[in-house]
Amino acid sequence: MPAAAVTPPRGEGRPPPLAVPAILRWCDAHRRRTGCWPRRDDGPVGGGPPGLTWLQVDAALRYGLRGLPGGSSLPRLLAAHRGHRHRQALPPLTEAAILRWAEEHHRRTGRWPSCRSGPVPGAPGESWPSINSALWQGHRGLPGGDSLARLLARRQGVPPRADRR
């Protein structure tokens, strides 16, 4: 005679619910330990329930599992609560903002920025290489097919680098 299927009592065998404050504590601890915010492929959650991975945390945030409402993600949670820039949801760029930053760079250094000029002071998280890339590839609200050098030549009359020497 076949054995009858045994259903565990309600709640047994189910993973414990998750809460945003606990996830943020685990994120902070991960950052202190590694110097980086956690990503979904970072493996086990240190200090979390045994067996919990960052992939599971991200899935719970996205799909509303384990008592969470859903519609979020690990990057979105860190952007909202810890100010960490979410690479898939960076703020739009405008030519006007880029030109303001370029003028400030020129005032400060006496040189116009290039795609190798590094971070943009006064614009946390922005860098001239990433701005040049967004201009070229058409990301972050820009049309694409442009470059920092072309924008500065067109709008500021800055000669191409070879002509400045």
Residue 87's pLDDT band, with cuts at 50, 70 and 90, is confident
**Whole-structure pTM value:** 0.60
| Domain boundaries, given as residue ranges, for the chain | 20-89, 95-164
Contact indicator for 21, 29 with CB cutoff of 8 Å: no
Give the distance between the most distant pair of CA atoms in the chain. Answer: 92
Q: What are the backbone angles phi and psi of residue 63, rounded to the nearest 5°?
A: -105, 5
User: What 3-state class would DSSP assign to 53?
Assistant: strand
Average pLDDT over residues 38-57: 95
Return the structure tokens found at 67.
Answer: 């008592």
Contact indicator for 52, 60 with CB cutoff of 8 Å: no
User: What 3-state class would DSSP assign to 44?
Assistant: strand
Which element (helix H / strand E) includes 155?
Answer: helix 148-156
> What is the distance between the terminal CA atoms of the chain, rounded to a whole angstrom?
92
Query: Helices 128-137 & 148-156, crossing angle to 10 degrees?
Result: 90
Residue 160's pLDDT band, with cuts at 50, 70 and 90, is confident
Give the per-residue pLDDT at 12: 64
Q: What is the pLDDT of residues 5-15, one digit of tens each?
A: 555 455 567 88
Q: How far apart are CA 9 and CA 47, in angstroms?
A: 27
Q: How far apart are CA 8 and CA 4, in angstroms?
A: 12
